[in-house]
Copies of this chain bind each other. A is one copy, B any other.
Amino acid sequence: MELDDRKMKILKAIIQTYMETGEPVGSRTISKYTDLNLSSATIRNEMADLEELGLIVQPYTSAGRIPSDKGYRLYVDNLMEEKEREVSEMKNFLIQRVDRVELLLKQMAKLLAVNTNYATMISAPRYHGNKLKFIQLSKVEEGKLLAVVVVEGNIIKNTILNVEGTISDEDVLQLNILLNSTLNGLTIDEINLGLITKLKEKAGYHSGVVGSVLEAVADAIKVDEEQPQIYTSGATNIFKYPELSDGTRASNLISAFEDKHELLELINDSSDEEHGIQVYIGNETPVQSMKDCSVVTANYELGDGMKGTIGIIGPKRMDYERVVNTLKTLMEQLDIIYHKKE
């Protein structure tokens, strides 16, 4: 048995109805809903076929049908049509570049959550491949240096270093000049051992400080590399969907959002996928606590190398069209704003 055009139409109708109501869809509903002008009996026959194909399931005998993961997958891959985009709000919001990326991301997460009624997550850009823009050491108190590192995209990292022995203000000045002239414009990866040795030589008897500065820089960046900052919003939106609101499920989901550890897997998994938008349906997700959810991710890029991931988490019957379109629009807008200047 093959999946002919009519079956497709019926499947689509089932999925769309189920998305709205969240309740099993019966044959009579479809018979009236579609422009196919078929009796409920015919629909029933077709539905039996669709079930045999594994695209829909009955929660119990003689109930209506709900889409299976496979059904959703087919819908997302083939049946979904692009709506005209709702750009307005996003556009206004993104109209100008923001100096502090974190702020932008936080607001973006919130905006998306409010707009979609799903939970959202945005990972701060990974440094990987980012250029060092500026390093500054300052003596804060005796034995303590403040190191400020600015990376492309005006991401700022502060670290306080404990240094042994005394350093004069003049020394600090010299070190700053040395560090900046040597390291500026390099990516994190380009700062290799050879360079470090060379730098230490030049630093003379302050080579120890140079060492710990670089260590601290690497450290500050590594911390973010391994557990990048993740902003979340709208976690409580899941309570709007009864199929996710029961005790344990909700608890697990909210926990995932709270300690953000599991979200990392999601980011790691989807960030391989170059640039595109990825949809995880039910069991496809790498995150255990989201087996009953669907997740849509997109990889954004702000400047050169400043890449991160946006994720939208909702019930399996989420409005894929709207979510995918919203994300696509967002990506495009970001592209326009952050690349036109070059």
Q: A interface vs B, CB < 8 Å?
A: 99-100, 133-134, 136, 138, 140-141, 144, 146, 148, 150, 154, 156, 158, 160, 162, 233-236, 239, 245, 247-248, 250-251, 254-255, 258
Instruction: Compute how far the CA of A235 lies from the CA of B251 in the bound complex, rounded to whole angstroms.
Output: 9
From B144, B247, B248, B254, give the contact of A254 (CB < 8 A). Answer: B254
Chain B nearest CB from A230 CB (Å) reads: 14
The answer to whether A251 and B239 touch across the interface, beta carbons within 8 angstroms, is yes
The answer to whether B138 and A136 touch across the interface, beta carbons within 8 angstroms, is yes
The answer to whether B247 and A160 touch across the interface, beta carbons within 8 angstroms, is no
From B140, B162, B247, give the contact of A133 (CB < 8 A). Answer: B140
Instruction: Compute how far the CA of A100 lies from the CA of B154 in the bound complex, rounded to whole angstroms.
Output: 21
Q: Please name the 8 residue pairs, one residue from A and one from B, whose CB atoms are nearest each other, closest first.
A: A239-B251, A156-B158, A99-B160, A236-B255, A236-B254, A236-B251, A136-B138, A148-B148
Chain B nearest CB from A194 CB (Å) reads: 28
Residue of B nearest to A141 (CB): B133
Instruction: Compute how far the CA of A120 lies from the CA of B296 in the bound complex, rounded to whole angstroms.
Output: 31
Instruction: Compute how far the CA of A251 lies from the CA of B234 in the bound complex, rounded to whole angstroms.
Output: 11
The answer to whether B160 and A148 touch across the interface, beta carbons within 8 angstroms, is no
Residue of B nearest to A136 (CB): B138
The answer to whether A100 and B156 touch across the interface, beta carbons within 8 angstroms, is no
A245 — which chain B residues lie within 8 A by C-beta? 247
Chain B nearest CB from A318 CB (Å) reads: 19
Instruction: Compute how far the CA of A136 lies from the CA of B235 in the bound complex, rounded to whole angstroms.
Output: 39
The answer to whether B136 and A100 touch across the interface, beta carbons within 8 angstroms, is no
Chain B nearest CB from A119 CB (Å) reads: 10
The answer to whether A258 and B236 touch across the interface, beta carbons within 8 angstroms, is yes
Instruction: Compute how far the CA of A233 lies from the CA of B133 in the bound complex, rounded to whole angstroms.
Output: 35
Residue of B nearest to A233 (CB): B258
The answer to whether B154 and A150 touch across the interface, beta carbons within 8 angstroms, is no
Instruction: Compute how far the CA of A154 lies from the CA of B138 in the bound complex, rounded to whole angstroms.
Output: 13
Instruction: Compute how far the CA of A287 lies from the CA of B136 in the bound complex, rounded to whole angstroms.
Output: 44
Instruction: Compute how far the CA of A236 lies from the CA of B236 in the bound complex, rounded to whole angstroms.
Output: 11
Instruction: Compute how far the CA of A6 lies from the CA of B253 in the bound complex, rounded to whole angstroms.
Output: 47
